[in-house]
Copies of this chain bind each other. A is one copy, B any other.
């Protein structure tokens, strides 16, 4: 698929896609078409990659962090063991975010309860979560 089609499939702009390629986050093939400046050719799996990048971004990871894992994934692609290891790392990273999320949600819920109770007792606080 050509870049504009890829843009539609992912919701990214052409500029953003090219930016990601320059950063090494996406590595599309080159079509023989386009003469000296060959066209880029995207595979369906690149769409999945792009969606994963966006998702991770909304979860507060930087492109550098995302790239690091991406590269490691690619490096161990031939070994199933290594692939699973990297995937597991990724899962752990997301589960840490999930934990932070739950801390925040619990705090807010406690606060709602506190307000509903007519602000009885001390206002809910948040633990010093510096890990």
The residues of B that contact A83 with a CB separation of less than 8 Å are 115
Q: How far is the CB of A94 from chain B (nearest CB, A)?
A: 5
Q: Are B55 and A104 in contact (CB under 8 A)?
A: yes
- With A59-B60, A123-B45 as contacts: A52 and B112 at CB distance below 8 Å: no
Interface size class of A (residues with CB under 8 A): 35 or more
Whether A109 sits at the interface, judged by CB under 8 Å, is: yes
Contact of A90 among B59, B97, B108, B128 (CB under 8 A): B108
Interface of A is mostly: helix
Alpha-carbon distance between A56 and B104 when the two chains are bound, in angstroms: 8
Q: Which A62-110 residues sit within 8 Å CB-CB of chain B?
A: 80, 83-84, 87-88, 90-91, 94-95, 97-98, 100-101, 103-105, 107-109
Q: Are A109 and B126 in contact (CB under 8 A)?
A: no
Q: Are B94 and A55 in contact (CB under 8 A)?
A: no
Q: Are B100 and A98 in contact (CB under 8 A)?
A: no
Q: With a 10 A CB-CB cut-off, give which of A45, A87, A94, A109 has the most chain B CB atoms.
A: A87
**Contacts from A to B (Cβ < 8 Å):** 9, 11, 44-45, 48, 51-52, 55-60, 80, 83-84, 87-88, 90-91, 94-95, 97-98, 100-101, 103-105, 107-109, 111-112, 115-116, 118, 123, 125-126, 128-130
